Structure formats: structure tokens, C-alpha cells
Amino acid sequence: GESVGLHLPTLSVQEGDNSIINCAYSNSASDYFIWYKQESGKGPQFIIDIRSNMDKRQGQRVTVLLNKTVKHLSLQIAATQPGDSAVYFCAEMNDYKLSFGAGTTVTVRA
């Protein structure tokens, strides 16, 4: 079946460095993608989204890149801070339904 997946289940980053979280998707019909952040004890929080007619979108300290040729999505976090420690999920939308990956746990080292 088709699924959304992340390349690595965990990522350890030095505070102040940039983080890159990767995601591979397999449904070429997906037209909308979202990154969520989930902190311990909380629900997924919307970070940034991107439509399939774009290949890059920037937010505050975050950038999402979409490569439709290889069905790859990434989230870049600039100057990673301790508060960025969380589980990050990518999600793809097809026919209004979201499919989620298993998540990458990001740990920021002081």
C-alpha cells in the first residue's frame, strides 16, 4: 500500500545547528503536505504546509522543501533550540484525507 515515511526515527542536533528532517512519500496523487510537531503530552501542532505546485516554502525559522520527482519532503529548522525537541510528523493529503508517517524524534543537545 501507499504510505508516508520518514527516513530516520531519531535525530540528535547540537543547539544552534540547523536540523533537517526527511520524509518520503509514495502517493504521486498527493497534492498537499504538512509538517506537524508533537511535544510530550500534547497533540500534533501545525508547523508549515506546502502545496504540490510549489517546491519551497519558508516560515519562521523553518523551511519545507518538496521534490515531486523523487517524492521527497524535508523540513529544515534553522538555529535549533531546546524548545524544538519533539516528534516531527510529515503528512500527505489525497482526496482531503491525511496520511501520517511514523515520526522522527528530534533531541537538541545543549
Partner 1 sequence: ETGVTQTPRHLVMGMTNKKSLKCEQHLGHNAMYWYKQSAKKPLELMFVYNFKEQTENNSVPSRFSPECPNSSHLFLHLHTLQPEDSALYLCASSLGRVSNQPQHFGDGTRLSIL
Residues that bind partner 1 (CB under 8 A): 3-4, 31-32, 34, 36, 41-46, 49, 51, 89, 93, 95-103
Closest distance to partner 1 from the beta carbon of 32 (Å): 5
Beta-carbon contacts of 19 under 8 Å, excluding residues fewer than 6 positions away, are 11, 13, 75, 76, 77, 80, 84, 106
Cβ proximity to partner 1: between 95 and 110 the closer is 95
Cβ proximity to partner 1: between 22 and 100 the closer is 100
CA distances from residue 19 to 14, 52, 63 in whole angstroms, order as listed: 9, 23, 10
Cβ proximity to partner 1: between 33 and 80 the closer is 33
Closest distance to partner 1 from the beta carbon of 63 (Å): 17
- What is the separation of C-alpha 84 from the centre of its chain, rounded to a whole number of angstroms? 13
